[in-house]
A and B are shown apart, each in its own frame.
Chain A
């Protein structure tokens, strides 16, 4: 295979924003997660925790709480609005002003008919959930302080509300305040949970998890879990387990069990402490088998409960999702340019020309787009064309580098165009973007610069559809596979489509013959190597070598791989990561031991791997340590022996 010159790039200062809230839908096994910049992410827990959908955020829209109602997702934030998301088209469907000041919390009853929000002005507002919208119903009795947290009793008759220094219980039907449980002074009840046996559990800023009798309003038990705040609580579906997230970055589990063996009576006992975060745990979800947590340190952590899963399997491994499951970097292969996508601006860099260490010859361009954040962006191989999309529009720019300038050449403001991806393929004059809108396909091209002679791909969830771009007729549909595609690319010379799925399967589909290629069938027949399937980060980018059409280059977070289709596939017994072995062998013997998967693990936290035209590789890394160093100081740092 030979030597590669690698441009190792670490100056992409990508910084995900903090996780603010999450909600888990146990029916669909999807986790909705919202970040401090308002971006919404949907993770499919059934499909290898793949980050399936992303709706970019918007300036000034801080979401404070999320709530699933069936398949529908609602959010509320400090701007006082309730938003329902359109998860098909990946944009907010509508927003409703609650007129109660900033909203701190949102919740629905078990039946999915009512939505309630807790507002700054001390009201709890009820909304009726209609088919297409929500409608204000009534206010519950107004309180003096803000409503910080809410929990609906499963029966739907009672609501517990956490406030400053107290917890109040309302009758959901009459809206009358029934009783309150006074707390000590200057305490914020950050989270409450109302269980079906009328137990109320609260987590507060004094670091206590308290268990109350909801009928009598008496304190049953206090667990002091931290010196700082208990920020969030989550109860398992069967109400046997409870988790509490703290400002120290710990998650404490309580279980409803009998504390001694012979004792019949069960109580809430503190059982486990997980320390997977360096900063505040702001959001928690208790799934059937795992504790899902996220917070200031921006990482989503899925920590399986070992009593619920089989030990030493892939299922029992802890996952930390630190980087997005999509490519934020686009590489112009011919021009040697890199496009970095930040939430609110784009940057174009040129990779260094010399072999010298650390030289970076760069151009930087920054677009600050008003309000809405970037969804996708792309750069044409020659580096001349730059396109990006937001939630509502697609724009095309022409870049000139001799005297750096940007000209806007096209803009679609069609609001009905939700965007999956914009890809600028192959030639300078060729600009294709693929857009899916419900059932129809709309193609955006706004000027005569473009000739459309290529195919475009649309991937929606698990279906991959190919459209001919000249006249926009459906070219073909790739057979449906059960797992989401995570990376798709069309080979520039052979017109083979390569699809990598969240379950790590690789398919190659011939667009000419409209069937899987021979190589793909062979791969499926023989099966992928078990170590390949065990990797826990998805492949986020596929590209090809212009020199050798048999080479497919793909990468995940911890490695990149060059698949040489001319070599035999690795058998299940052979060593998958065999680069070290091959290095030690003499030249003649290497051929016998080499296989198609050339995996290089020299780089960590890879965001992009691409092959430039001069056959040199560009590897964009974003080391986690660099990201960590940009975080604010945590409230408590673990010191030795403390």
Chain B
């Protein structure tokens, strides 16, 4: 969930400008993430330290001269580059005080922009579309500059991008209502021209934003009607045919933003990462028609993630450097830190157990929000949370018992809802201390924190691994139970630890009683005389499965021969693992996962463990098939589908190994019979479906009026 934090003012804007102009020509990154160079629209360049909100130095050109391009910082040479009066390139260093005394070179054609990326060379883009590296230009300033653009074509926006050590200059132009995209690669120079698809007539893009990822350049552009399009250009395919033809540029609609009344006038959209876009100058969907909002949208889910009202006029300008948004609005230039964490909804794509999804996502979102408010609150009013801070400090140093006591006290004192951000802080603090100090471990406190259900894996990612390391399987179980977002790798690590644990050790554990009682009833339950669920009946299936059925557990192969004889009465399946181990394995079965992510990790299991795990799954399946309703409500019990999914995944992950393992043969034959029964069931259900649909249609009773003429057919 992306978030906008409390912003602060970097500088005031120069008053007295025309209303449509903010007075800022451009903002460029300086040496590090905390410094920016701000070029105003007339004469001065100012270097700011952002966190201190104060100017470090400033340079001005003479009266009568104007800066026509934002100053850039060349980090390689530690020099600033700016262009004045379109043709004069000026280069200076930090220690230079007067700009007039700095290096100057006059070029033969009008310059549009100078671009420079950290680590890259400065590039000069001329107004007529030609591109030169600054160095080569300065070696012969008066060299002739060719015209790339057509007569009435003018550059609207430009940027440069470094992709795989290749430098690109990207600029867009406009000609008689058509928009074009130019992709200029340097060394070797190639140029590709694309034509943007036309939006409604008379509309041209308000703002552009480009980024590079996965060998593709991604261009994002916003139209006045609120449509945000994305076009993706492959870097590799470039240079085939030299920009003679304007290729059509395919686009996809990312967002349809609400525009309120009329079209957008001053608005801008900036890509923040692959899933988030910051938009300024567009109305907030739930706050009326006012356009002075800064919003972060998630393009994957088309959801508004964060919004903030900006006081004063919005000029449609927006820059972003290192998790900070720079917005001129009203009479100030504001800096707004933001955060776009990897979307937790990713877990939603995976398989989640029985409708847990809603709750868990809410928890994450809520947790994040409250964390946010807490943090901002503390900044403004730190007095009420003093005791909490004390406890936090206390946990860093105090011995185990006292920490336990204090945390317990704290938890019992306040409302859990208020504690949500605190629980996260406490847990991560305890975990990091435990990791650092092998002697320090507070199992009961951690368990208590997990029990509050305010924690999730992303808040303290090391907790589960720590529990595994300390062999605190009870905590593991709790984490598996309460964390909605455990990554598949961790799930697999848990599975591995559980399955390799000796039964004797497992029996000593004290586990969550609900899950234990479920397993106890499952193992102890008398077999129903004729059980048949989901079409699978252990007695009625073909004889070929009877041998494996007989074994049930690890004894399959030894007893296989004998069982074949008494195949008419297959004995009770025996649980291949101990009670507590089974409980822990159930917990793994119940976790949410996405099979694509889980599959590679499953391959880490040894073949011996795989067979054991499969045997256990088979045992569960048989039990479920025999008993009419083993899934007791409210108990932690895996569903039949979950069991089947796991069987399939484990088989997928280890198929070749299992085929080669002689011990697994019986098991595989057995599982095959499950599949057969499932297939049969599904086909039967398919047959029923048709009839049921007919039934539905019949139910529709049409209203007969007072008089009607109908046709009936008698046979």
Q: Do A and B come from one complex?
A: yes
Residues of chain A having any CB pair with chain B under 8 Å: 1-11, 352, 354-360, 562, 579, 582-583, 590, 594, 598, 600, 602, 617
Q: Are B715 and A356 in contact (CB under 8 A)?
A: no
Chain B residues with CB under 8 A of A582: 715
CA A2 to CA B706, docked complex, whole Å: 26
Q: Are B709 and A4 in contact (CB under 8 A)?
A: no
CA A11 to CA B708, docked complex, whole Å: 10
CA A359 to CA B704, docked complex, whole Å: 13
Chain B residues with CB under 8 A of A617: 712
Chain A residues with CB under 8 A of B712: 3-4, 6, 600, 602, 617
The answer to whether A600 and B714 touch (CB under 8 A), given A8-B704, A10-B704, is yes
Q: Are A356 and B709 in contact (CB under 8 A)?
A: yes
Q: In the complex, what's the smallest C-beta–C-beta distance from B187 to chain A, in angstroms?
A: 77
Q: Are A357 and B706 in contact (CB under 8 A)?
A: no
- Chain A's closest residue to B706 (CB) is A11
Chain A residues with CB under 8 A of B704: 8, 10
Q: In the complex, what's the smallest C-beta–C-beta distance from B694 to chain A, in angstroms?
A: 11
Chain B residues with CB under 8 A of A355: 709
Interface of chain A: mostly helix, strand, loop or mixed: mixed
Q: Are B705 and A6 in contact (CB under 8 A)?
A: no
The answer to whether A6 and B714 touch (CB under 8 A), given A358-B705, A360-B706, is no
Q: In the complex, what's the smallest C-beta–C-beta distance from A575 to chain B, in angstroms?
A: 12
B710 at the interface (CB under 8 A from A): yes
CA A357 to CA B707, docked complex, whole Å: 7
Q: In the complex, what's the smallest C-beta–C-beta distance from B715 to chain A, in angstroms?
A: 4
CA A590 to CA B713, docked complex, whole Å: 13
B711 at the interface (CB under 8 A from A): yes
The answer to whether A562 and B714 touch (CB under 8 A), given A10-B705, A358-B706, A360-B706, is yes
Can you list 5 pairs linking A and B with CB atoms under 8 Å apart?
A7-B707, A7-B709, A355-B709, A358-B705, A617-B712
Chain A residues with CB under 8 A of B705: 10, 357-358
Chain B residues with CB under 8 A of A4: 711-714
Q: Are B714 and A9 in contact (CB under 8 A)?
A: no
Q: Are B709 and A3 in contact (CB under 8 A)?
A: no
Q: Are A359 and B715 in contact (CB under 8 A)?
A: no
- Chain A's closest residue to B707 (CB) is A360
Q: Are A357 and B715 in contact (CB under 8 A)?
A: no
Chain B residues with CB under 8 A of A360: 706-707
- Chain A's closest residue to B713 (CB) is A3
Interface of chain B: mostly helix, strand, loop or mixed: strand
The answer to whether A579 and B709 touch (CB under 8 A), given A8-B704, A10-B704, is no
Q: Are B714 and A2 in contact (CB under 8 A)?
A: yes
Chain B stretch 663-715: residues in CB contact (< 8 A) with chain A: 704-715
CA A355 to CA B707, docked complex, whole Å: 11
Q: In the complex, what's the smallest C-beta–C-beta distance from A5 to chain B, in angstroms?
A: 6
- Chain B's closest residue to A590 (CB) is B715
Q: Are B707 and A8 in contact (CB under 8 A)?
A: yes
Chain A residues with CB under 8 A of B709: 5-8, 352, 354-357, 359
Q: In the complex, what's the smallest C-beta–C-beta distance from A551 to chain B, in angstroms?
A: 11
CA A2 to CA B705, docked complex, whole Å: 25
CA A155 to CA B521, docked complex, whole Å: 71
Q: Are A357 and B714 in contact (CB under 8 A)?
A: no
Q: In the complex, what's the smallest C-beta–C-beta distance from B665 to chain A, in angstroms?
A: 48
Q: Report which of B706, B710, B715 forms a contact with A598, defined as CB distance below 8 A.
A: B715
- 10 closest pairs, A vs B, by CB? A582-B715, A1-B714, A11-B706, A360-B707, A6-B710, A598-B714, A3-B713, A358-B705, A8-B708, A10-B706
- Chain B's closest residue to A358 (CB) is B705
Q: In the complex, what's the smallest C-beta–C-beta distance from B600 to chain A, in angstroms?
A: 53
Q: Are B711 and A594 in contact (CB under 8 A)?
A: no
Chain A residues with CB under 8 A of B707: 7-11, 352, 358-360
Chain B residues with CB under 8 A of A356: 709
Task: Add 7 more A-B contacts to A2-B714, A358-B705 (CB < 8 A).
Answer: A3-B714, A5-B710, A8-B704, A10-B706, A352-B709, A360-B707, A594-B715
- Chain B's closest residue to A11 (CB) is B706
Chain B residues with CB under 8 A of A583: 713, 715
Q: In the complex, what's the smallest C-beta–C-beta distance from B703 to chain A, in angstroms?
A: 11
The answer to whether A5 and B711 touch (CB under 8 A), given A11-B706, A358-B706, A360-B706, is yes
- Chain A's closest residue to B705 (CB) is A358
Chain A residues with CB under 8 A of B714: 1-4, 562, 579, 598, 600
Q: In the complex, what's the smallest C-beta–C-beta distance from B267 to chain A, in angstroms?
A: 54
Chain B residues with CB under 8 A of A579: 714-715
CA A21 to CA B411, docked complex, whole Å: 76
CA A5 to CA B705, docked complex, whole Å: 17
- Chain B's closest residue to A4 (CB) is B712
Q: In the complex, what's the smallest C-beta–C-beta distance from B390 to chain A, in angstroms?
A: 55
- Chain B's closest residue to A580 (CB) is B715
CA A8 to CA B714, docked complex, whole Å: 16
- Chain A's closest residue to B710 (CB) is A6
Chain A residues with CB under 8 A of B710: 5-6, 8
Chain A residues with CB under 8 A of B706: 9-11, 358, 360
CA A583 to CA B706, docked complex, whole Å: 28
Q: In the complex, what's the smallest C-beta–C-beta distance from A13 to chain B, in angstroms?
A: 10
Chain B residues with CB under 8 A of A602: 712
Most buried by A among B704, B705, B708: B708
CA A600 to CA B712, docked complex, whole Å: 9
Q: In the complex, what's the smallest C-beta–C-beta distance from B690 to chain A, in angstroms?
A: 13
Q: In the complex, what's the smallest C-beta–C-beta distance from B19 to chain A, in angstroms?
A: 65
Chain B residues with CB under 8 A of A357: 705, 708-709
Q: In the complex, what's the smallest C-beta–C-beta distance from A180 to chain B, in angstroms?
A: 56
CA A2 to CA B714, docked complex, whole Å: 6
Q: In the complex, what's the smallest C-beta–C-beta distance from B699 to chain A, in angstroms?
A: 15
Q: In the complex, what's the smallest C-beta–C-beta distance from A589 to chain B, in angstroms?
A: 11
Chain B residues with CB under 8 A of A10: 704-707
Most buried by B among A8, A600, A617: A8
CA A248 to CA B715, docked complex, whole Å: 46
Most buried by A among B705, B706, B712, B715: B715
Q: Are A3 and B711 in contact (CB under 8 A)?
A: yes
CA A352 to CA B705, docked complex, whole Å: 14
CA A6 to CA B713, docked complex, whole Å: 10
CA A579 to CA B709, docked complex, whole Å: 21
CA A594 to CA B708, docked complex, whole Å: 29
Q: In the complex, what's the smallest C-beta–C-beta distance from B661 to chain A, in angstroms?
A: 53
Q: In the complex, what's the smallest C-beta–C-beta distance from B322 to chain A, in angstroms?
A: 62
Q: In the complex, what's the smallest C-beta–C-beta distance from A177 to chain B, in angstroms?
A: 59
Chain B residues with CB under 8 A of A1: 713-715
CA A8 to CA B705, docked complex, whole Å: 9
Q: In the complex, what's the smallest C-beta–C-beta distance from A257 to chain B, in angstroms?
A: 41
CA A602 to CA B710, docked complex, whole Å: 11
Q: In the complex, what's the smallest C-beta–C-beta distance from A599 to chain B, in angstroms?
A: 9
Q: In the complex, what's the smallest C-beta–C-beta distance from A409 to chain B, in angstroms?
A: 31
CA A357 to CA B709, docked complex, whole Å: 6
CA A3 to CA B710, docked complex, whole Å: 10
Q: In the complex, what's the smallest C-beta–C-beta distance from A566 to chain B, in angstroms?
A: 14
Q: In the complex, what's the smallest C-beta–C-beta distance from A557 to chain B, in angstroms?
A: 17
Chain B residues with CB under 8 A of A7: 707, 709
Chain B residues with CB under 8 A of A590: 715
Most buried by A among B708, B711, B712, B714: B714
CA A113 to CA B521, docked complex, whole Å: 78
Chain B residues with CB under 8 A of A359: 707, 709
Q: In the complex, what's the smallest C-beta–C-beta distance from B300 to chain A, in angstroms?
A: 45
Q: In the complex, what's the smallest C-beta–C-beta distance from A64 to chain B, in angstroms?
A: 36
CA A5 to CA B711, docked complex, whole Å: 5
- Chain B's closest residue to A617 (CB) is B712
CA A579 to CA B714, docked complex, whole Å: 7
Q: In the complex, what's the smallest C-beta–C-beta distance from A357 to chain B, in angstroms?
A: 5
CA A359 to CA B706, docked complex, whole Å: 9
Q: In the complex, what's the smallest C-beta–C-beta distance from A267 to chain B, in angstroms?
A: 46
Chain B residues with CB under 8 A of A3: 711-714
Q: In the complex, what's the smallest C-beta–C-beta distance from A353 to chain B, in angstroms?
A: 10
- Chain B's closest residue to A616 (CB) is B709
- Chain B's closest residue to A8 (CB) is B708
Q: In the complex, what's the smallest C-beta–C-beta distance from A432 to chain B, in angstroms?
A: 32
Chain B residues with CB under 8 A of A352: 707, 709
